[in-house]
């Protein structure tokens, strides 16, 4: 399956994270947020601001190396969150659900929210803003940089 690429800008990520916070407002108040490192760190900061949550914990799980998925390894558990009661888990994306399954096991009573969701991972989370196809690879703003592209006419495109 050939992946499609979807580029998310800083502005779009900020708008989408705020939209997710809006959806989560009626579910709180939350005592804290657990950001899934690394992708969930920035959305969690935006959501923490919007929900006025001051306790932001992290859980560090290594699952991907570039675009290659491996077995998840917890390198830092979310000690301050207990079993997740009155906590919100935030990630940028749920893909296959592998990372989400691990975090659910650590924090079974937390509400799990992602900015973006793919169909295979959707059953593992509680809230999201935007769904993308399973074969879409999202290029987040921290993984890209803007650069000049030749106009089509100069590249010999039809």
Catalytic positions are 91-92, 95
Phi-psi bin for 57: left (phi > 0), alpha (psi -120 to 50), beta?
beta
Query: What is d(CA 28, CA 26) in angstroms, rounded to the nearest whole number?
Result: 6
The SS3 assignment for 136 reads strand
Cβ–Cβ < 8 Å for 32, 87: yes
Cβ–Cβ < 8 Å for 92, 40: yes
Query: What is d(CA 117, CA 100) in angstroms, rounded to the nearest whole number?
Result: 11
R_g of the chain computed on alpha carbons: 17
Least Cα distance to 3 among 132, 99, 158, 144 occurs for: 132
The β-bridge relationship of strands 56-65 and 32-37 is: parallel
């Amino acid at each position: 399956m050939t992946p499609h690429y979807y580029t998310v800008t800083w502005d779009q990520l900020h708008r989408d994270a705020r939209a997710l916070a809006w959806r989560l407002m009626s579910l709180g108040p939350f005592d804290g947020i657990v950001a899934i490192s690394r992708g969930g760190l920035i959305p969690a900061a935006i959501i923490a601001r919007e929900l006025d949550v001051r306790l932001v914990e992290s859980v560090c799980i290594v699952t991907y190396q570039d675009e290659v998925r491996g077995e998840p390894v917890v390198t830092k558990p979310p000690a301050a969150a207990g079993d997740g009661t009155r906590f919100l888990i935030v990630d940028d994306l749920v893909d296959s659900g592998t990372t989400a399954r691990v975090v659910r096991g650590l924090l079974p009573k937390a509400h799990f929210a992602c900015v973006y969701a793919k169909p295979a991972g959707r059953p593992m989370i509680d809230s999201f803003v935007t769904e993308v196809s399973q074969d879409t690879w999202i290029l987040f703003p921290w993984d890209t940089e803007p650069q000049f592209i030749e106009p089509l006419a100069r590249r010999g495109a039809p």
